[in-house]
Structure 1
Amino acid sequence: MPAITADTLTLPRIAAAQASDTERPVRSITTGPRGYEGEGFPVVRAFAGVSAADLDPFVHMDQMGEVEYQPGEPRGTDWHPHRGFETVTYMIDGRFAHQDSHGGGGLITDGATQWMTAGSGILHIETPPAELVESGGTFHGIQLWVNLPKKDKFATPRYQAIEGPDAKLLSSQDGGALVRIIAGEIDGAQGPGNTHTPITLAHATIEPGAQLNLPWNRDFNSLVYVLSGRGSVGPVGHPIHQGQLAVLGPGDRITVSAEGTQDSHRPAMEVLLLGGRPIREPVFHYGPFVMNSKSELIQALEDYQAGKFGQIPPNALMPHRPSTDRLTHRLGGLRVQQLQLAEMRCSRHQRQGRRDREIGSVASARNDTTKLSPIGTSSDVVSAPVSRAQIAAACSSITERVCG
């Protein structure tokens, strides 16, 4: 169960629709492919196959897990840079430790959110804490990348720690859905997240047979992602299930309904509701950098090479990399192969640096789901010094993502 729960009968109810309100129709439903991230933890690429124009102002989202780790299994990411956007890490169940080069950090746990504005440039790491590595446990969350407008691309890096109880809680009209507002506003209730780009981000639990109908800012786009369970979305009731994303059209309200019978391990339907005001500026995305032009990407790589994103602190967290030998007895062949590939990747980074991976990950600028990205592409950056010509060559095939 999600860590933050409440008796919906005691919460403020979302107001009923007005006669003049229009329902947002479903424009598309896509299924996110599964892969492995960072040092080898499972993810669903929630935005794969969706146009940049439909996602704007969002860049990428991963559902991390849900997985029940055995002792020694949990994995995270290595130290890596970011520039030009914000990362939002929301832990539904489990724990994740964070540290960055500007003094931010802490433990993200059980319904908490880490909101990191990379802005002008930052280095950070996200990794399971020692107690999770030692004892095992549940790991389930999301990481969302929110673009910054040109005027804020070089904002001073900032870290916000939003604890689970800080989320604003609402109930649906029928009392069958719990809505946790992490950022933005729904029906006059304001979430705690402080954002550069105007967005709304909420996590809803919808009981079997219940319906959630809520107002949505007409100036925002609207995305519904199913974390677990199954049901329907939109006024016509399009079927949707775990790992699928619905892009909705214009309107005043969003409707999501849960089927009467859900999976045994998740008794309710869990959905993420997100939207924001489109920025409609050029987007050039290369690994951990999201900028407005190719020249800005080249500058980001050069600045990272020059150490302008800050320094890894002396007491730095380091990633945990368990041996695959102790996992073989309980994991399917595909997962073992993925973990072994992750181990080989880490060893190659240590021996040879990461230039080959950086150039090889150019395709991830188009949300390529065949690679370990984008936390993976966050880690796949140049660690050995390279020339400006080499950087320019690596960026040569990147094209603008059309955002309307």
Structure 2
Amino acid sequence: MSDNLLPETIDLVIQPRLRDLGDGFTVRRILPYARRRHVGPFVFLDHMGPVRFEAGRGLDVRPHPHIGLATVTYLFEGEIMHRDSLGIVQPIRPGDVNWMVAGRGIAHSERTPDHLRPQGGPLHGVQAWIALPKAWEETEPAFQHVGGGVLPAIEKDGARLRLIAGAAFGMTSPVRSFAPTFYLDAALDPGGVLPLPEEYGERAIYIVDGSIAVDGELYESGSLVVFKPDVRPDVAAHSAARLMLLGGAPLDVERHIWWNFVSSSPERIEQAKRDWREGRFAAVPGDDEFIPLPP
């Protein structure tokens, strides 16, 4: 649909682009986008799968660095083993949250656990990067795992919502966020009505599965629907649907992104490049491989 034909409540609809992460594993890259670099503090959004690995195969994202952000991995199917330079070893399973604060610098890997490789299996999920406020960009790195059973949940009007991070609808997630934000997993029955948090300046819906109608216009899976500020769109499921609701306050300052580095300062990103190239990031215990700095 052309932008000039969009409902008045919608600013932009983004379609993902395929990106190869290596070994033939592709993701759908949603953010950043040329015309929309971020929604609230969300500066990166990847849709992984759904895919089914053959026996003996799996996900292998070798150790790589981050600065200036928090990553959040959220799965619908499968399992990933997280290892990082803090010494954390933590599997993530559907409905759980792995929240990694990179701050001044961290390295981590994400792989299919060894015990699942012989039989292969599914993988489906979303990974987001959330820019830390400028005052927190150089905070100490940290990691938090929250089991799905602890996340706040609400059900109404055919919609079941689970709050991954931030605050919305009177709920607050136990995941530590650094700026006003919200991130929800929503499952809708056909005809289910979806509210949007009204207290945030930037809001969007990513359609994982199914289709929704926004002010009478139909949008299919794979679309990121970005809303204008201060609007109250009518959102309802056209079919059974799985959605991610995300957004928050606008960024305090613009961010620069290069590879896995996010910062308000281009000079800081250049320093991070040198640090990774010259081996100054802490290693990931138990994982001796690494991804070289791209050219």
Does structure 2 retain, via aligned residues, the 8 Å contact 1:182–1:201?
yes
Amino acid at match of 2:21: E
Picking from 231, 256, 261, the partner of 2:212 is 231
Does structure 1 retain, via aligned residues, the 8 Å contact 2:40–2:181?
no
Partner of 1:213: helix, strand, or coil? Answer: coil
- Call closer, same or farther: CA 1:184–1:282 in 2, change over 3 Å: closer
| Residue 171, structure 1, aligned to residue 150, structure 2 | no
Instruction: Report how far residue 87 of structure 1 moved.
Output: 0.8
- CA RMSD across the alignment: 2.2
Alignment of 1:1-400 (within 5 A): 25-47=9-31, 49=33, 51-52=35-36, 55-172=39-156, 174=157, 176-218=158-200, 220-233=201-214, 236-251=215-230, 253=232, 255-259=234-238, 262=239, 268-313=240-285, 315-316=286-287, 354=292, 358-359=294-295
User: How far apart are the structure 1 equivalents of 2:86 and 2:38?
Assistant: 33
TM-score (norm 1): 0.67
Amino acid at match of 1:222: R
Instruction: Report how far residue 77 of structure 1 moved.
Output: 0.4
TM-score (norm 2): 0.90
Amino acid at match of 2:109: I
Amino acid at match of 1:299: Q
User: How far apart are the structure 1 equivalents of 2:154 and 2:281?
Assistant: 39
Which structure has the greater CA radius of gyration? 1
Partner of 2:61: helix, strand, or coil? Answer: coil
User: How far apart are the structure 2 equivalents of 1:24 and 1:125?
Assistant: 42
- Call closer, same or farther: CA 1:228–1:188 in 2, change over 3 Å: same
Instruction: Report how far residue 216 of structure 1 moved.
Output: 2.7
Any stretches of 5+ residues in structure 1 without a counterpart? 1-22, 263-267, 320-348, 360-404
Instruction: Report how far residue 252 of structure 1 moved.
Output: 6.1
User: How far apart are the structure 2 equivalents of 1:104 and 1:197?
Assistant: 25
Higher percent of residues as helix: 1
Map Cα deviations across residues 334-388 of structure 1 (whole Å, 9 max, x no partner): xxxxxxxxxxxxxxx7xxxx46xx22xxxxxxxxxxxxxxxxxxxxxxxxxxxxx
Partner of 1:71: helix, strand, or coil? Answer: coil
User: How far apart are the structure 1 equivalents of 2:42 and 2:142?
Assistant: 18
Partner of 1:134: helix, strand, or coil? Answer: coil
Higher percent of residues as strand: 2
Q: How many positions carry a matched residue from both structures?
A: 289
Does structure 2 retain, via aligned residues, the 8 Å contact 1:125–1:317?
no
Any stretches of 5+ residues in structure 2 without a counterpart? 1-6
Partner of 2:273: helix, strand, or coil? Answer: helix
Does structure 1 retain, via aligned residues, the 8 Å contact 2:204–2:224?
yes
Does structure 2 retain, via aligned residues, the 8 Å contact 1:222–1:273?
yes
